[in-house]
Structure 1
Amino acid sequence: MFREEAIEVIRKAITEEGILASAQRKDNYARVWARDSMMTGYAGILICDEEILNGLEKSILTLAKHQAENGQIPSNVVNGRASYGTHVGRTDATAWWIVTTCEYLGITSDDALRVSLKEKIYQALSCLKTWEYNQRGLVYSPLGGNWADEYVTSGYTLYDNVLRYWALKNTSEIYNDHELKVVAEQTKNLIQQNFCKNDSNAFRYHETAYAKAKTKPYFWASLNANGYDERFDLAGNALSVLLDFEINIDAFSEFLNIVSNEFKHWMLPAFYPVIFPGDDDWRLLENNYSYSFKNQPYHFHNGGSWPIFLGWLCLGLKKKGVRGIPEKIITEYETLMNEKGELFREYYSTDKLLPLGTEQLCFSATGYLLMS
């Protein structure tokens, strides 16, 4: 229904530096963000849109040009100036750049580009390796260190580690690197054995915390020195399903149905349950922002619904043969855009389904393309 509109939003955001975060080209959104431009470029790969693919290549090269000495990819670039994060660095920027750069190299016949980017990709992987800190296999992200930069998750996060696995996997395939393939498989197994209850005798990162953690129908959000954050991280779980991690898909689908029934719609929250004033984690929320506080209950990262990650969820579920839930999600999203008359807003509040945040966001246009 809105496919052409989604594509047009993305095309309007393409500049000589790459794909900006929004077609509106205002404020912080008039930048080439690593995670935004790479996810948007991934959609361009899926739909084989030459104009978006051209923008993706520009984004790849712009970000590569500003790669830091340690291999880190910038969080964003604007007018030739790079930012690697404000309060903290962004772990997922480096991983997303590797993932989608390799996906792009897999469809292009430009062998010279593949050769020229190899060193930068391996430098970026080396940077991710240093972020293990303890050399035990999982990447550690500081509070605010990924897309949910004003939220409460930190430590060995599901989302960042699944992305790191994807980066290793893609690089090993593009450069036919058997040693890296082994590392990728080891990383996947490490995540599998440490982010959900299972009966294996595999190595546990934190034996005491693992023993105390409760069984869930999804992968836990993160692990820290003080234990597990057992909340539901939609983005991390969506990517886990897409990348064929072992999960009981029937139990997972039933959990999604339960959450949908609780909220009475299918614009599922990015994180669940919602954090309220008085909850233990509220103190981690209330001061963690740059310009204004957005994480009121049901808003932004705190229970807000993000079409971009619903898109990844739909893509993963359909890969597993689950059709009903993706159909319900895209129908709900199309209905909201029709009723509200606003296309591709940043997120929706999950209590009143208000379209909020920036308009004409490539993130949300990309989410729609992934859904459909």
Structure 2
Amino acid sequence: MTNKKPDHREAVNQADALLEKCMCAEGFLASPTDSDNYRRIWARDGIIIGLAALMTGTDDMIAALGHTLETLAEHQGPHGEIPSNVDVRSGRVSYGGMTGRVDADLWFVIGCGEYWQATKDDAFIEHMLPSIEKVVFLLGAWEFNNRGLLYVPATGDWADEYVHTGYILYDQLLYLQTLRTIHHIRRHVTGCDDHDLHTRISLLKHRIRANYWFGSDEKIPDDVYHEILFEKGRKAANHCTRQYWLPFFSPHGYGYRFDGFANVLASLLDVSPPSRRQTVDAYIEQHVVPDQIKLLPAFYPVIKPLDKDWEDLQITFSYSFKNHPYEFHNGGLWPMITGFYVADLARRGETDKAGAYLAGIHCANAMCMDGQPWGFPEYVNGSNFSAGGNRHQGWSASAAVMGHAALKGKKVFRINEDDTFVQ
């Protein structure tokens, strides 16, 4: 890891320059580097980059998000599924690997709503509405038992080589924001509220709060998905009771590792009450983030060869095994996740702490890769703090742009839970 702290202005300029290189006629590429599958329009990457682009107010970057969404809609599957990625050179469309990518659909609807609110382009949202409604119908089917939570298969979201499965918190949070978004869109198009949808939104928020946080009281909360599963999970969770949001549960029980992205989104999307935000912040500072660089890991603690999850982790990969200890999802430190954390801290008035994490993003982005500075690595090794993964990653650059804009008062999400639009 470089010991030199990058200049903030240079870091933001370098990030802006990389985002410009990610732009093409069809939208945002995950990376302009022609390696693996990254030089494609990815739903998840492109929309996260696009959220940062909206915060800049730069016309060409905002337009690139619109092109990203149009490209994804043009290649929508027959049941409503949004592509995981589109190779614009070959025309190849992927909806996922061994399973589909549930969060591609969620980010798509969120991205459409945020682009519409930023541009006030009513013609765009009316054009996209049929694609959006197909997605929302498909998501309802993916509840499977019509009980309000999405069931996500193994490898079915951004942690596509990790060991999470079932009712994953990260996806439920994005589902909540997706339903909020479609509620706003329908109200605009029809001129009236969808009261049934509003009730679903309220219930989903309550279910998330009830099922993914273990308190110490004896009473089982209302809206628990399965009382016996919840009680068994709570008894086995002494080390994380009242510490952080749980990552998932499934018919086999609860997962207990700290999910960085989910815990950040729980606060950023106003699911977490203030007391829980403070608790999670304290846990992050005391246990999760290393002293050497202020970056959040994807998951914590690391799965090691003697751990019971190691065997499953070892066989969960697409082409080659990436999740060695402290790498990739297995304890790798992610500028992208940290960018959302900076945005949340900034909107809560924690500007000093937000600035410290933004400095961590800049340090990561400035790391050399292939002998060149400003490598913008996908992640940083959580043990030796070297650059890891693919270079010139667009969403690592977007983390710097997002954090910088957030500290100037910009919001990531214009559509919020109060049925008001944040300008």
TM-score strictly above 0.5: yes
1:1-372 map, 5 Å: 1=8, 2-79=11-88, 80-176=91-187, 177-179=193-195, 180-198=197-215, 201-212=221-232, 213=234, 214=237, 215-247=241-273, 248-260=276-288, 264-338=292-366, 340=368, 341-372=373-404
For the residues of structure 2 that align with 1:322 and 1:353, how far apart are their CA atoms? 26
Shift of 1:117: 1.1
Deviations 1:222-268 (A, max 9, x none): 01111110211011111111011124222111101112566654222
Shift of 1:339: 6.0
For the residues of structure 2 that align with 1:190 and 1:339, how far apart are their CA atoms? 41
Equivalences, count: 372
For the residues of structure 2 that align with 1:337 and 1:93, how far apart are their CA atoms? 25
Structure with higher RCO (Cα < 8 A, 6+ apart): 2
Query: Is the Cα contact below 8 Å between 2:148 and 2:200 reproduced in 1?
Result: no
For the residues of structure 2 that align with 1:334 and 1:110, how far apart are their CA atoms? 34
Deviations 1:98-122 (A, max 9, x none): 0011111112232221211112111
- Over the matched positions of the two proteins, sequence identity in percent amounts to 35
For the residues of structure 1 that align with 2:300 and 2:352, how far apart are their CA atoms? 21
3-state secondary structure, aligned to 2:62: helix
Query: Is the Cα contact below 8 Å between 2:296 and 2:335 reproduced in 1?
Result: no
For the residues of structure 2 that align with 1:98 and 1:336, how far apart are their CA atoms? 30
Deviations 1:155-191 (A, max 9, x none): 0000011001101101211331433232222211111
Shift of 1:207: 1.2
For the residues of structure 2 that align with 1:349 and 1:220, how far apart are their CA atoms? 24
For the residues of structure 1 that align with 2:289 and 2:94, how far apart are their CA atoms? 41
For the residues of structure 2 that align with 1:21 and 1:222, how far apart are their CA atoms? 27
Deviations 1:193-238 (A, max 9, x none): 1111256741211212222323132110001111110211011111
3-state secondary structure, aligned to 2:257: strand
Long gaps (5+) in structure 1: none
- Name the aligned partner's letter for residue 214 of structure 2: K
Shift of 1:21: 0.5
For the residues of structure 2 that align with 1:336 and 1:310, how far apart are their CA atoms? 11
- Name the aligned partner's letter for residue 134 of structure 2: Q
Give the superposed CA RMSD.
Answer: 1.7
Query: Is the Cα contact below 8 Å between 1:260 and 1:266 reproduced in 2?
Result: no
Long gaps (5+) in structure 2: 1-7, 188-192, 405-423
Shift of 1:327: 2.0
Query: Is the Cα contact below 8 Å between 1:173 and 1:181 reproduced in 2?
Result: no
For the residues of structure 2 that align with 1:190 and 1:338, how far apart are their CA atoms? 41
